[in-house]
Amino acid sequence: MSDQPVLLITGASSGIGAATARAAAKQGYRLVLAARSEDKLHKLQQELGGKEQVLTVRCDVQSETDQREMVKKALASFGRIDAVFANAGRGGEPGGFSGADVEVWKDMILTNIYGVGLTVQHCLPALRESRGHLLLTGSAAGRVTIPGSMYSATKWAVSAIGYGAREELRGSGIRVTLIEPGMVDTPFFDQQPDNALQPDDVANAVMYAVSQPAHVDVNEILVRPTPAIKDS
- Confidence (pLDDT) at 190: 53
Annotated active-site residue 208? The verdict is no
How far is it, in rounded angstroms, from Cα 212 to Cα 64? 31
* Catalytic residue selected from 29, 114, 151, 163: 151
pLDDT in tens, 83-113: 999 999 998 778 899 999 999 999 999 999 9
- Confidence (pLDDT) at 228: 82
Q: Is a pLDDT exceeding 70 seen at residue 187?
A: no
- Confidence (pLDDT) at 148: 94
**Which is higher by pLDDT, 184 or 6?**
6
Provide the strand spans (E) within the chain: 6-10, 30-35, 54-58, 83-86, 133-137, 175-181, 220-223
Percent of all residues in the chain with a pLDDT value above 70, rounded to a whole number: 96
Dihedral angle sign, alpha carbons of residues 88, 91, 96, 99: negative
Q: What is the value of pTM for the model shown?
A: 0.94
pLDDT in tens, 7-24: 999 999 999 999 999 999
Q: Is a pLDDT exceeding 90 seen at residue 32?
A: yes
Q: Kindly report the average pLDDT of the chain as a whole number.
A: 94
- Confidence (pLDDT) at 230: 79
Q: What is the SS3 assignment for 211?
A: coil
Which residue, among 90, 71, 81, 78, has the nearest Cα to 11 in the 3D structure?
90
Q: Is a pLDDT exceeding 80 seen at residue 33?
A: yes
- Confidence (pLDDT) at 192: 64
Dihedral angle sign, alpha carbons of residues 128, 122, 106, 44: positive
- Confidence (pLDDT) at 201: 97
Model confidence at 189, pLDDT cuts 50, 70, 90, reads low
Main-chain dihedrals φ then ψ at residue 86, nearest 5 degrees: -80, 90
